[in-house]
Chain A
Amino acid sequence: MNSNLIDFEYFIETDNNPFILFNQSKRIVYLNHSAEILLAYVSKGELYDIALLNASSTFGFKTKIMDLKYGVFAFYAINVAYKDENLISIRLYKKPIIQNSQKLKQESLMTTDINTLLEANISLFKMSNSVKLNLLTDTAMPNFKVDQAQLSKLIKKSLELFKNNSSIMITLKIVVGEYIIINDKKEKLIALSFEAKKRDKDDNTLQNIANSNYIAIVLKDNLIRFNIPFIQDNIKQ
């Protein structure tokens, strides 16, 4: 078969590893689905600079082992390729995801209005703190199943870690295009983030609670973000 006739784009599009093709003026000419999601966590400029910095000295390609972490994504290597002055590509290789050994138990999940849970924790926080809280949420967010006590702990803890700020931005929204596999079932995600100028650190506590509940967590100096499984039906056991 003549390989010129094969539509390679489909196979790149469905690759789980992000792939981006830049032109010489830093503009994206093509990106696959995985890269689209990645760009919610890192700027295209930063990826372009990494590509340029790690490109081979002459036309060709170079694969380099490096640890990169953007939000919930972690990569162990990149491949940078260019065959002329016009186009340069970068492919980022995802680290294997360690399967969560703890299975979610149906009986621990209760149908929850996350806005109520959030409101209760905010109200408790306000009882002993005068920090201004800005809340951006979808009040029509459908109920979903979650371990209420565990999620409440994450919210409470996050607010406490930001208490030494003049204001905290809290955002709650449904994540588009990202999923999580729980007990062999694909579930949508809800993103709950807390953002302020600075925060105190107790990352291990947050990570332990989040990991045992299939909640992905992004920890930055100014941000805590949880990607919470949006489970609406019974989960497979």
Chain B
Amino acid sequence: MKQFFTKDKQIESIIRNINITKTLYLSSLIVGEPYIGKKTLAIYLFPNATIVDGKSDDLNSVIASNEEIIIINFEKIKNIDSLDLSNKRVIATTSYISNEKLIDEKFSFIYQMPSLIEREADMNILIDRFIIEAKSNLMVQDDIKLNYKKFDLDNNSKSLRKSIYKQLVYLSIKDDEVETILYDFLYNRFDGDDIYRKFLYLYERPLIMAGLKKFKSQLKLSSILGINRNTLRKKINELELN
């Protein structure tokens, strides 16, 4: 059975409410941003329901021939007006509501599911799960401390997962792997003249940026890097790091 982990009060209320209506023949709609767990929640609540995509050409026939249905991507349905959801147990998911009046006619219960950034407790559960998953998939065994502030929540769980994988890769990477990456990158770009100067920024830019962040002083950094202060200033201007 599909599990749904949440500590969010709003989602707990949605679960409680849909559980109450389970014996009734009513349609419910879950509205919320993409990748916040709407489909997982629907499957958790109706594990035996037939799942159909709003984009599917068979939508009407699937609805007609089943009693319990999950409709995902409801916003993609072209002709909502023609849908007959009466006396069915329907749970639909959508990213937005385009025609409020029509949606109100079709659905008895409409729930707003909060995005991930609004669900701090859920976010921490997901982060822990994604880190375990990423470490397993990337075969990372070191105890690497990730920077939570750098996690990307713009696209909810999708961008969060991606940013965790990225950080794990970046933080666990070895010198020879950086070399390999650069090798592949440069090999495919050997085109034209002045290649040395053209790609020097790949080394200089992160080096100076990291140094400036660490030492906060151009004078100190120039000394550490072993280059002239004026040379460093010139590089900073060229690389637009001001």
A interface residues (Cβ-Cβ under 8 A, vs B): 107-108, 110, 112-113, 116-117, 119-120, 123-124, 126-127, 147-149, 152-153, 156
Contacts and interface: CB of A to CB of B under 8 A. Distances in A.
Contact of B87 (A108, A116, A117, A120): A108
Counting chain B CB atoms within 10 Å of each CB, which of A113, A123, A126, A153 scores highest?
Answer: A123
Interface of B: 10, 13-14, 16-17, 20-21, 23-27, 86-87, 108-109, 111
B21 A120 contact: yes
7 contacts: A117-B24, A120-B24, A123-B17, A124-B17, A126-B13, A127-B17, A149-B108
Nearest to A113: B23
Which 9 A-B residue pairings sit nearest by Cβ, starting from the closest? A152-B108, A120-B20, A120-B21, A123-B17, A127-B13, A110-B25, A149-B108, A148-B24, A148-B25
B108 A127 contact: no
A116 B21 CA distance: 7
Given A116-B23, A148-B24, A149-B108, A123 B86 contact: no
A149 B109 CA distance: 10
Contacts of A117: 24
B80 to A, nearest CB: 15
Nearest to B105: A153
Contacts of A147: 86
Contacts, number: 51
Contact of A116 (B13, B14, B20, B86): B20
B13 A152 contact: no
Nearest to B10: A127
A107 B23 contact: no
Contacts of B109: 120, 124, 152
A119 B20 contact: yes
Nearest to B21: A120
Contacts of A116: 20-21, 23-24
Nearest to B18: A120
Contacts of A108: 86-87
A154 to B, nearest CB: 11
A110 B16 CA distance: 22
B2 to A, nearest CB: 23
Given A120-B109, A149-B26, A110 B87 contact: yes
A112 B21 CA distance: 11
A223 to B, nearest CB: 24
Nearest to B14: A127
